Amino acid sequence: MNDLIQTAAEAGNFKTLTAALRTADLLSTLEGAGPYTVFAPTDAAFAKLAKTTVASLLADAEKLKGVLLFHVLAGNVNAHAVGQMRDGDKVKTVSGKDFTLGLKGEAITVNGANVTTRDMQARNGVIHAIDNVMMP
């Protein structure tokens, strides 16, 4: 089974995320033992960001790292586990900051971003695709 980075690459819609992880020197972290849960913005999610936002993130590796780690949880949290949580729960990310979980029927949101694809399993965790880039 592939690691998180290989799984994201094979999915084909996380090219911008993978490039940002490389810029922030986080590839080795997500290739490591883990386990991690990644709420991964798709290429379309990154395309929604203002060009000035993207430029400022790429110019500041530490800021970029903080934004990317805001999308990562320690542990393997699949959609079933998320479904056991409550709407409005705060969830601590690897960045040390919390995001807010939204549960409405079968729909899952994180800080307002919709989870569009769930449970892409990897050797060292799980990826859930989201439709927006979350800012801490």
DSSP states along 34-79: --EEEEEE-HHHHHTS-HHHHHHHHH-HHHHHHHHHTTEEES---H
- Parent domain of 83: 4-130
Read off the pTM.
Answer: 0.95
Would you give per-residue pLDDT tens digits along the chain (136 residues)? 999 999 999 999 999 999 999 999 999 999 999 999 999 999 999 999 999 998 899 889 999 999 999 999 999 999 999 989 999 999 999 999 999 999 998 899 999 999 999 999 999 999 999 999 999 9
Closest CA to 45 of 18, 67, 13, 71: 13
Residue 80 in domain: yes
Q: Which CATH number belongs to the domain containing residue 96 in this structure?
A: 2.30.180.10
Domains: count for the chain:
1
